[in-house]
Amino acid sequence: MPEARGGVSAILLAAGSGSRFGGGKLLAPYQGRALIEASLANLAEAPVSETVVVVGEDAGRLRPLCEPYGVRIVENPNWERGQSTSVRAGLLALGPRVRAAVVALADQPLVGPGAVERLVSAFEGGAEVAVATYGGKRRNPVLFSRAVWPLLEAELAGDEGARAVLRRHPDLVVEVPCDGVGNPADVDTAQDLRHLERVHEGEHRFKIG
C-alpha cells in the first residue's frame, strides 16, 4: 500500500438513486461482494489520509457496508438535486488541515489506487486540479486543491458534477494519464455490471492460464 499523503482526502460519491439500474445499484453483487465495496477497497489502498463516503437514498443500507472500511459517512439530504450537491457535502465535511480532495464515483469499480496515486503526485508537483485521463479522454477521479474549493462552491450546479467547471477554467487543469492503472468503466445498468464481471473473469483466466 502506498504511504498516505498527509492532508489529502478522498470523497466517494454514493448518493445517487441508480434509477437506470432499477435502484439499489451500489448494493448489487460484484465479485462476491457489494459493488460499492470494490471502490472502497481501491481507496483503502490509495495514498489518502481518509475517505468520506457521501450517501443519499440508500444511506441506511450502505452504512453497514461502508463502516468496516474505516471511512466517514456523510448523508446528503439534497441528493435528488444532483451530483453537485454531493460534492459540496463531501467538501464541507473535510477538516481545516485537508489540502486537497480526490473525488471518485462509487460505481467505477475498476479505478484502481494507482490512478489516485498519480493524481496526488500531480498535486504535489503543483497542480491545482488534476483529472485522470484514459485514452486521452477526461474521466474520474479528479483531485481539487483546497485553493479551488471556493470556485466549486460558486459554480457547481445540477448533476454535471465538476465537468463544466473544468471546461470554464482550463488554465487550472492538469491532465494525468491513468491508462494501465485504472479503467473508468462505470455501472449504469444491470447489463453494464454483467459486462464488467465478464471482463474480470477474462482477466483472471489470462493471469492463471
User: 187 Cβ partners below 8 Å, 6+ apart?
Assistant: 21, 25, 28, 35, 107, 108, 109, 193, 196
Return the pLDDT at 137. 96
Exposure string (b/e) for 70-107, b if CB count within 10 Å is 16 or more?
ebbbbebeebeebbbbbbbbbbebbeeebbbbbbbbbb
Residue keyed to cell 489470462: 206
Domain 8-208 has CATH 3.50.30.60: no
d(CA 194, CA 124): 38
Mean pLDDT of all residues in the chain? 90
Q: What is the pTM of this model?
A: 0.92
d(CA 168, CA 166): 5
Return the pLDDT at 202. 54
21-51 pLDDT, tens digit per residue, is 878 899 999 999 999 999 999 999 999 999 9
For residues 183-209, average pLDDT: 73
pLDDT exceeds cutoff 70 at 65: yes
pLDDT exceeds cutoff 90 at 172: yes
pLDDT exceeds cutoff 50 at 205: no
Terminal Cα-to-Cα distance of the chain (whole angstroms): 27
| Distances 28 to 46, 62, 189 between C-alpha atoms, Å | 24, 11, 11
Other CB atoms within 10 A of residue 60 CB: 9
Q: Extract long-range pairs of 126-131: CB within 8 Å, 24+ residues apart.
A: 127/174, 127/176, 128/172, 128/173, 128/174, 129/166, 129/169, 129/172, 129/173, 129/174, 130/173, 130/174, 130/176, 131/166, 131/173, 131/174, 131/175, 131/176
Indicate the burial class of 35 (C-beta count within 10 angstroms; 0-12, 13-18, 19 or more). Answer: buried
